Amino acid sequence: MLLQAVPFWIASIITGLVAVLYGKFFQIAEDFTSSIFDRYAWALFILSPVCFVVAWWLVHRFAPYSKGGGDPQVMAAIQLSATRKNNPVVDKLLSLRVAFIKVISSLFMALGGGAIGREGPTIQIAASIFKIIYEVLPKWWPKITKSSMLIAGAAAGVAATFNTPLGGIIFAMEGLTKTHFSYNKTAIVSSVIIAGLTAQAMLGPYLYLGSPKLNGLSSYIFCGVAVVALISGLLGSYVSKLILFIFAWKTKFKFSWHHVLYVVACSLIMISLAYFVNREILGSGKDVMQNTLFTSAKYVHWYSPILRTAGPLLSFTTGAAGGIFTPALGAGASIGSLVASWFNFSAIDTNMLILSGMVGFLTGVTRSPFTSIIIVLEMTDRHAVIFHLLLAGMISSLVSILVDKHSLYNYLKLQFIRDLNTTEETEMAEHVEKIKT
C-alpha cells in the first residue's frame, strides 16, 4: 500500500510547486497588462491582437488539445483510460508538451488582457504530471490504474490553485467521475493534501479572496439569494450554449486565416470595450470579486455583468489556452452586486448576494453545485453562510437543467472523444452520459 501511494505523493509535490510558479507568472502577466492600460492604454490595440494570435498559434501548431480550460480534456482522458488500457490517444490530451504549451499560451492570453483563468490549465497540467509519473514507474511496481492517477492529479490541481482542499475532493467526486472515487479515495485525498501543503509551504496559509463581512444579515436575505441564483444560473447556462454555438460555427472555417481574423476581432472588441466603456472586461475577474467584496465600491455599473460575460466569451472561443472557471466567478459576482444595487441592499447583504452570484454562475457553467459551493466557502472562510449558498447552488442547478441537461464541459469532453476515437468508443461515452443523466 505504501509503494502504491508514493507515486501520488511525488506527483502531488511537483503539482504544488508548478501551480505556485504558474500562478506567480500569471499574476505578473495580468499586472503588466494593467500597468500598460494605466500608462499607455492605446498600446493594447497593438499588444492584445499580437498576444491573442500568438496564443492561438501555439495551440494550433504544437498542441491542439491544449486549447481552452483543461477540465474537458481531463474528463475525456479519464474516460478513455477507463475504457481501454494504455489508450495511446490520451497522450494527445495529457503530456509534457501539452502542459508546456498550456502554460505559454495562457500567459500570452493574460498578457493580452484575455478574460481567462488559470484553474482549468492547472488541472490539465496537474493531470499531465500525474500521468508522466505513472508512465515512468517500473513494471514491478504495485499496480495502479491510470484513471486513478488522472483523477487525483486533477483534484490536486484544484486544491493547489485555490487553496481549497475540500473543493478538490468534491470536484473529483462531482465534476470528474461518479464511478471511480470510492476505489481511489485514499489516493485522491492524500494527493489533495500534499499538493495543497506544498503550495502553502511556498505562499503561506492564505485565502484566495479573503474573508468578507457577513455578520448581521437581514432576515429577508434568502429572497435576494434566490433572485441572484436564478439570474446567474440562467446566464451561466446560456453563455455556455453560446460558446458551443460559436465553436460549431467556427468548424465551418476553411482556412487558418479565418481563425486568425476571428482571434484578432475578439481581441480588438475586448480592448475597444475596455478603452471606451470600462477596463473591467479585461483579466480573470478576480479584481471584480475583491473590489465588490472588500471595498466601499459595492455596486457595479449596469453594464458590468455584460462585460464580465462578454470577456470570457470572446477569450474562451479564440481556441487559445485559458480557463473559464475564475471568469465565471467574476461574472457571478457582478450579477450579485448589480441585483443588490437594485434594492439598495446594505454592504453586508450585498456581500452575501455577491457570493451567491459566484456560486450560481459557476454552477450554470459546470453543473457542479457542490463544487461551486465548497470552493466559494473555502475561498472566503465564511462557513456560517453555507445554507445560503446551498440555496443558491440548488436554485441555479435547477434552472440550468431547464436550459440544457448537460454542462459545457460534458459537451466539450464528448467532442474531444469524437475527434480522437472510433465510433464504438464515442457511442460508449455517449451512453455513459445518458446513464449519468
351-371 pLDDT per residue, tens: 999 999 999 999 999 998 999
Tens digits of per-residue pLDDT, 164-180? 888 888 887 777 765 55
> Which of the listed residues 137, 171, 203 is the one where a domain comes to its end?
203
How would you label 309-332 residue by residue, b for 16+ Cβ within 10 Å and e otherwise?
A: bbbbbbbbbbbbbbbbbbbbbbbb
Residues 6+ apart with CB under 8 A from 152: 8, 11, 12, 130, 172, 184, 187, 188, 191, 192
Looking at the fold, whether 345 and 259 belong to one and the same domain comes out as yes
Q: How many CB atoms lie within 10 A of CB 285?
A: 28
Cα Rg for the chain, rounded, in angstroms? 20
Rounded CA-CA distance 424/177 in Å is 20
**Residue 189: inside a domain, yes or no?**
yes
The lowest-confidence range among 53-62, 157-166, 299-308 is 157-166
Per-residue confidence at 430, pLDDT binned at 50, 70, 90? Answer: low
User: Is residue 104 situated within a structural domain?
Assistant: yes
At 368, phi and psi to the nearest 5? -125, 75
Q: Return the residue matching grid coordinates 511537483.
A: 14
Q: What is the distance in angstroms between the CA of the first residue and the CA of the last residue of the chain?
A: 35
45 or 91, which is more confident: 45
pLDDT digits (tens, 9 = 90+) for 44-85: 999 999 999 999 999 999 999 999 988 999 999 988 887 666
Asked whether residue 293 falls in the same domain as residue 341, the answer is yes
Q: What is the CATH number of the domain that holds 333?
A: 1.10.3080.10
How far apart CA 187 and CA 199 sit, in angstroms, is 18
Q: Is residue 59 part of a domain?
A: yes
- Ranking 58-67, 109-118, 122-131, 159-168 by mean pLDDT, the lowest is 159-168
Mean pLDDT taken over the chain: 88
Residue 429: inside a domain:
no
Q: Decide which of 203, 233, 268 is a domain's last residue.
A: 203
Residues 6+ apart with CB under 8 A from 225: 352, 353, 356, 388, 391, 392
Q: How confident is the model at residue 233 (pLDDT cuts 50, 70, 90)?
A: very high
Do 137 and 283 have their domain in common?
no
Separation CA 266–CA 335 (nearest Å): 23
pTM of the entire predicted model = 0.91
| Cβ-proximal residues to 437 (8 Å cutoff; 6+ apart), any chain | 405, 406
Do 293 and 240 lie in a common domain? yes
d(CA 373, CA 378) in angstroms, rounded, equals: 9
How distant is the alpha carbon of residue 141 from its chain centre? 34
Q: At what angle do helices 71-83 and 423-436 cross, to 10 degrees?
A: 110
The reported pLDDT for the residue numbered 398 is 94
Q: What is the DSSP letter of 107?
A: H
